[in-house]
Amino acid sequence: MAAPQIRELPSAEGLTSEDAAASSPMAKVWRAMWGNKTAFVGLVVLVVLIVLSVFAPLIAPYPINQQVGQPFTPPSVHHLLGLDDAGYDVFSLLLYGLRISLLVGFSATIIASALGTLIGIIAGYRGGIIDNLLMRLTDYFLVIPLLPLMIVVADLWGATLFHIIAVIGLLSWTMTAIVIRAQVRSLREYMFIRRARATGASHTRIIIQHILPQVMPLVVANTVLNISYAVFTETALAFLGIGDPSQVSLGTMIEFGFQRGAITDGAWWAIVPPGLLVTVIVLACSLIGRGIETTFNPRLNLAHLSMRRARLIPRPPASQNSRAGGANGTSA
């Protein structure tokens, strides 16, 4: 065991066992999302996009595998976003593209987050030489430029949808692992973990029962940020010609716009919407992720930081409840 430094956590961070029983960290995540205006906006946007993509076949006004008019027809009442270079309806393509992009984003993120959390927990909990080895590995992956690496792997492996998901997922776990490890390392020394260990709980049980719930908010924040990264990377790979040719994604739509003269023809409607949609996805995810992070880092919310109102504003009364709950009033 590492140096037995016993610390009791300040309850403001909600990490003592009593506090955990009162309101689990995940419950706080939900409350944070409802309470934090920006996080809430992000959540709503993301949910709307998911619904749109799930019901794409019902919503899309035209089939996406046949020409429905003159190529590069500008937007009109019949075609909300006009037609692309092959005379396909851009709005319908957009819905189906959103589907694939979100599919890639979510699947790759599940892989990345699971891998990152696993590595982070093992490294942080075991410590010692395993920690050393895993963190060395993480350091390497942190430095090696990921996009070129993904290009190489995906190009050599063959650019099918599954391979692209796997490549993005298997290579973007580093940040999650680092963040989780740091959290687990400090958790390990806390009272309630030590108590659990003293009562004879197995390592697996401690990890699943006590550590995992406490790191969950961080995992969620990182997962949401990872989604945006994965969606982003999918468009980049597709733009470089590494995309599944049988699937329309937001990335391939941008690529087609570029390759097939939408720019030179001034057909902005074929190329503006997919990029804008990617921006919206990424923005929504970062709003959610940042909202959760702010909730768990209350230092960012002190009102007296304002330079314009440089006079001192008294801190809220330091009773335990108001401090623990203070995070929820962030946007107020």
Partner 1 sequence: MRSKGDYILRRIASAVGTLFVAVSMNFLLFRILPGSAAVSMAHVPGAGPGLREALTREFGLNHPLYVQYVLYLWQLVHLNLAVSFYYHQPVLGLLISDLGNTIPLVVLGTVFSVVFGVLTGIVGAWLRGSALEHLSVVPALAFYATPVQWLGLMLILLFGSVLPTSGRSDPFLFNPSFAQESLSVLNHLILPSLTLGLVLYGQYTLIVRSAMLETLCEDYVLTAKAVGYSKPRILRVYALRNGILPVISVIALSAGFVVGGAILVETVFNYPGVGLAVYNAILNRDYPMLQGAFLILTVSVVLCNLVADLIYFRLDPRIS
Write out the residues near partner 1 by the rule CB under 8 A.
136, 139-140, 142-149, 151-153, 155-158, 228, 232, 235-236, 239-242, 254, 257-258, 263, 266, 268, 271-272, 274-275, 278-280, 282-283, 286-287, 299-300, 302-310, 312
Tokens 């959290």 appear where?
183
Least distance (Å) between residue 82 CB and partner 1: 15
Cβ closest to partner 1, residue 121 vs residue 238: 238
Least distance (Å) between residue 54 CB and partner 1: 23
Single out the residue of 238, 232, 227 nearest to residue 163, CA to CA.
238
Instruction: DSSP for 209-255, please give it.
Output: IIIHHHHHHHHHHHHHHHHHHHHHHHHHHHHTT-S-TTS--HHHHHH
Cβ closest to partner 1, residue 93 vs residue 193: 93
Give the N- to C-terminal CA distance of the chain in Å, as an integer: 44
Least distance (Å) between residue 184 CB and partner 1: 22
Cβ closest to partner 1, residue 130 vs residue 144: 144
How many CB atoms neighbour CB 152 within 10 A?
A: 12
Least distance (Å) between residue 36 CB and partner 1: 15
Least distance (Å) between residue 8 CB and partner 1: 24
> Are 52 and 273 in contact, with CB atoms under 8 Å apart?
no
Least distance (Å) between residue 74 CB and partner 1: 15
Cα separation, 102 vs 281, in Å, equals 9
Cβ closest to partner 1, residue 211 vs residue 284: 284
How many CB atoms neighbour CB 326 within 10 A?
A: 17
3-state helix, strand, coil in the chain (%, to 5): 70, 0, 30
Cβ closest to partner 1, residue 80 vs residue 153: 153
Cβ closest to partner 1, residue 177 vs residue 193: 177
Instruction: Label residue 7 exposed, middle or buried (CB < 10 Å: 0-12, 13-18, 19+).
Output: exposed
Cβ closest to partner 1, residue 67 vs residue 157: 157
Q: Say what the alpha-carbon torsion angle 219, 222, 223, 229 is, to the nearest 10 degrees.
A: -160
Least distance (Å) between residue 276 CB and partner 1: 8
Cβ closest to partner 1, residue 121 vs residue 292: 292
How many CB atoms neighbour CB 279 within 10 A?
A: 12
Cα separation, 102 vs 238, in Å, equals 14
Least distance (Å) between residue 198 CB and partner 1: 37
Single out the residue of 306, 248, 273 nearest to residue 104, CA to CA.
248
Single out the residue of 225, 288, 281 nearest to residue 97, CA to CA.
281
